[in-house]
Amino acid sequence: MAGPAPTAGDPAPLLIACAMGIERFALRGGRGGRGAAPVVLRTGIGPQAAERAVRRVLTDGTAAADAAVVATGFCAGLSPGMHPGDLVVAEETRDEHGRTRCAGGGVLVDALTELLGGDRRRVVHTGPLIGSGHVVRGAERAALRATGAIAVDMESAATLRTATHIGPRPVAAVRVVVDAPEHELVRIGTLRGGISAFRVLRMVLPAFSDWHRSLSLPRR
C-alpha cells in the first residue's frame, strides 16, 4: 500500500530492494534514520525476479513512481583480503545488459564508516559491482575479478537498471560481504561469517537515510 503523498519540498521517497527474507528481516529489525520510513521490498532471488518486482512496485503505486532506489543485501566479494561483514558501495553496477552509474557514493562511504565506529575488522570497499544469474566460486570468481569488479551479486544490476529504465532517479547499491575468496560459503566458518554479515546489514539503514537526504531530488 502506498504511503501518504509527500508535500511540496519533500524529496522523492526511498525504495530499498533486497532479495531474501533474511535480508528484509535484518533491514526491518535495524535502527532507522530520520525522516519517513522507506518501502522495503523483497524481490526474490535472481535478476529476473528482481526486475519483475521492481517494475511492479514502481508502476502499481506500492512505491512512488519517482522513488530513489537502493539495492542491498549480501554479496560475494571478489578481491583478496575481503572478509564477511565488509561493506561494498558500488560506483556502478554491471551485467550483460550494460552499466548503471550510482549516485552519492561518497555520502554512503562516510555514513557507513561512521556507523562502523572505528571497527577495524570491517572495511568499506568501493568499486564496480557485477551481476550474475547464479552463485559463483573458484575460477569464475577470479574471472569476474579480472573485469575490475570488486563484488558480485544476483540482483543489484537488474534492480537499478529496471528502476532507471522506468524513469530518471538516483540509485545506489550497498552490499555486505558474506562470501569472499578466502571465506567461500562451502568452507568451515560460513555460519560465523553469515552472522557477521547479518549484524552489519542491521546497521545500514541510517546510512541510506543520510544518502537519501543528501540527494538533489525533484520536489513535488
Residuewise pLDDT in 10s, the chain (220 residues): 333 444 444 556 899 999 999 999 999 865 555 556 889 999 999 999 999 999 999 999 888 889 999 999 999 999 988 999 999 999 999 999 999 999 999 999 999 999 998 777 889 999 999 999 888 877 888 899 999 999 999 999 999 999 999 999 999 999 999 987 765 654 444 556 678 889 999 999 999 999 999 986 444 3
What pLDDT sits at residue 42? Answer: 97
Q: How far apart are CA 72 and CA 89, in angstroms?
A: 10
Q: Which three cell numbers stand for residue 130?
A: 557485477
The answer to the question of residue 72 being in a domain is yes
What pLDDT sits at residue 8? Answer: 41
Which DSSP state fits 183? B
Residue 42, phi-psi category: left (phi > 0), alpha (psi -120 to 50), beta (remainder):
beta
The answer to the question of residue 220 being in a domain is no
The answer to the question of residue 2 being in a domain is no
The answer to the question of residue 7 being in a domain is no
The answer to the question of residue 219 being in a domain is no
CB 42 within 8 A of CB 18: yes
The answer to the question of residue 77 being in a domain is yes
The answer to the question of residue 102 being in a domain is yes
- Domain harbouring 139, CATH code: 3.40.50.1580
First to last CA, the chain: 20
What pLDDT sits at residue 58? Answer: 95
What pLDDT sits at residue 118? Answer: 75
What pLDDT sits at residue 34? Answer: 55
The residue segments making up the domain with residue 18 are 14-214
Q: How far apart are CA 156 and CA 142, in angstroms?
A: 20
| pTM for the predicted model, two decimal places | 0.87
What pLDDT sits at residue 7? Answer: 41
Pairing relation of β-strands 171-179 and 87-95?
antiparallel
The answer to the question of residue 115 being in a domain is yes
Q: Which three cell numbers stand for residue 195?
A: 552472522
CA 60, 10, 23 angle in degrees (round to 5)? 55
How many independent structural domains does the chain possess? 1
